[in-house]
Structure 1
Amino acid sequence: MARIKPQTLLQQSKRKKGPARISATTVIFYGLILVLIVFFVFATYRHWSNRSRFRSENHLSVSEGENNFADSKKSDVPGYAVLNTSKGSIVIELYKESAPEVVDEFIDLCQKKHFKGMLFHRVIKHYVIQAGDNQGTDATEDWNLRGKHYKSVKHEAFMLGTSKGKHSNKGFDLFITTAPIPDLNEKLAVFGRVIKGEDVVQEIEEVDTDEHYQPKISIGILDVTLRQKA
């Protein structure tokens, strides 16, 4: 049996202990795994980021939609009313913002033709003209405050108001002031003002009346027309 030289054994031992070489296939395999991991992390981040943004935009659009609906609903309420009387037309600007409930009730009654044929049954010079139920409360008496207390606008001349509190179908009367009347601020709910037809109001104010302030000739409202614009 041939003997192996010591020098040969030493060279073989060095070759066994040397670092093993990494093949190109292994490098490519682990590189692909790393790329897949990075891609998966990026895709996951992008998915949740887009989902969060979508939910935020969707919530914003719903909120804007609700606001637009509310604004649209508010803008649908007529802003003006024309009282066509036997003396001429009186154009009223309605206070939708400061007296929304009274305006809504007034508009509802207009649509039901409640004011058609209603008479101005009480006329007090330099004070007020009143249309409504002639069996109602006298204008010179103290009105009883019932129901909700509305914050009244100062009663300058040519303001449209009604007595405060809940009204029956026959109880919604109309007052148009012909002079500033600060003492009625707690008795009337102002919900509009005359912007055209002041001369018609003054003509009604000047009619002859009896001792009960009732006109000696019939003056009434032929109908009421609602408008979006003056």
Structure 2
Amino acid sequence: MAKIKPQALLLQSKRKKGPNRISVTSIVLFTLIVVLALCFLFSSYKHWSQRSSFQAENQELVVEDENSFMDSKKSDLPGYAIIDTHKGSITVELFKDSSPDVVDEFIDLCQRGRLKGMLFRHIIKHYVIQAGDIDKLGSIEDWTTRGKHYSQLDTSLKHEAFMLGTSKAKHDNQGFDLYITTAPMPDLSEKLIVFGRVIKGEDVVQEIEEVDTDEHYQPKSGIGITNVTLKPKI
């Protein structure tokens, strides 16, 4: 049997115990795979973050557009009306925010000329004057009794004088009526929908209030509205 030289044994031992070397090609491929994976993850994150931001901006734009549309619709409505009567002019501010439906109806009637020639049907001194198509005030005794009672109360009440309102009854088949209070009415909300207030011409309202009436509180001489002019500002 041939003897193996010591140097040959040493080389053979190193080959068995030494680690396997990784080739350069494997290292390059592994590095490329890691880089591609990181690029994919980064691009995916950027895409979804941009998409979320875009959706959020679109939602904000939609809300802003809706709000601006509603605001522009409100701002387009006239805010004031000048009611010309046989006694003079009465300027009223319309409550567009608190009573939009009634204000819309009032403006529509004014634009169609329905309020021209409208007569004051009932006048109760120190309480209310009523004009409109409806020749009925309800229980006159009820209104006058309340009027006498409230005229003796403190004036710092919920509903002040010179408020513009209309009855809560449906106006489809009964026409439209206007009320201007001439004294505080604490229970105003029980009968009327307030949609404005007199800001100029209180003396005209009081002059109308002083006209002679019969036992049914109807004016003895015809007095009414001659014209209504709508204004965006005063």
Report the counterpart of residue 206 of structure 2 in structure 1.
Answer: 202
Report the counterpart of residue 140 of structure 1 in structure 2.
Answer: 140
TM-score when normalising by structure 2: 0.78
Q: Segments of 4+ in structure 1 off by > 4 A?
A: none
TM-score when normalising by structure 1: 0.80
Of 166, 175, 191, 1:162 maps to 166
CA–CA distance in structure 2, aligned partners of residues 155 and 8 of structure 1: 118
Report the counterpart of residue 65 of structure 1 in structure 2.
Answer: 65
In the alignment, is the contact (CA less than 8 A) between 2:134 and 2:175 conserved in 1?
no
1:54 Cα deviation after fit: 2.0
In the alignment, is the contact (CA less than 8 A) between 2:90 and 2:200 conserved in 1?
yes
Aligned positions of 1:103-182 closer than 5 A: 103-133=103-133, 135-137=135-137, 140-142=140-142, 154-168=158-172, 170-182=174-186
1:111 Cα deviation after fit: 2.3
1:77 Cα deviation after fit: 2.9
Q: 1:132/1:139 Cα in 2 relative to 1: closer, same or farther (>3 Å)?
A: farther
Report the counterpart of residue 197 of structure 2 in structure 1.
Answer: 193
What is the SS of the residue equivalent to 1:10?
Answer: helix
Amino acid aligned to 2:6:
Q
1:55 Cα deviation after fit: 1.9
What is the SS of the residue equivalent to 1:48?
Answer: helix
CA–CA distance in structure 2, aligned partners of residues 130 and 169 of structure 1: 18
Provide, for residues 15-46 of structure 1, a one-character-per-residue CA deviation record: whole Å limited to 9, x for no partner: 53233443444333322222111111111122
Report the counterpart of residue 84 of structure 1 in structure 2.
Answer: 84
The percent of aligned pairs where both chains have the same amino acid is: 63
Provide, for residues 157-190 of structure 1, a one-character-per-residue CA deviation record: whole Å limited to 9, x for no partner: 2111222221235531111122224465522222
Amino acid aligned to 1:179:
A
CA–CA distance in structure 2, aligned partners of residues 75 and 97 of structure 1: 10
1:106 Cα deviation after fit: 1.8
Provide, for residues 169-214 of structure 1, a one-character-per-residue CA deviation record: whole Å limited to 9, x for no partner: 5531111122224465522222211011111112222233344433
CA–CA distance in structure 1, aligned partners of residues 47 and 174 of structure 2: 65
What is the SS of the residue equivalent to 1:218?
Answer: coil
RMSD (Å), alpha carbons = 2.8
CA–CA distance in structure 2, aligned partners of residues 27 and 184 of structure 1: 89
Provide, for residues 85-104 of structure 1, a one-character-per-residue CA deviation record: whole Å limited to 9, x for no partner: 22221111122333333223
In the alignment, is the contact (CA less than 8 A) between 2:125 and 2:209 conserved in 1?
yes
CA–CA distance in structure 2, aligned partners of residues 189 and 20 of structure 1: 95
Report the counterpart of residue 41 of structure 1 in structure 2.
Answer: 41
Paired positions, count: 219
Q: 1:14/1:185 Cα in 2 relative to 1: closer, same or farther (>3 Å)?
A: closer
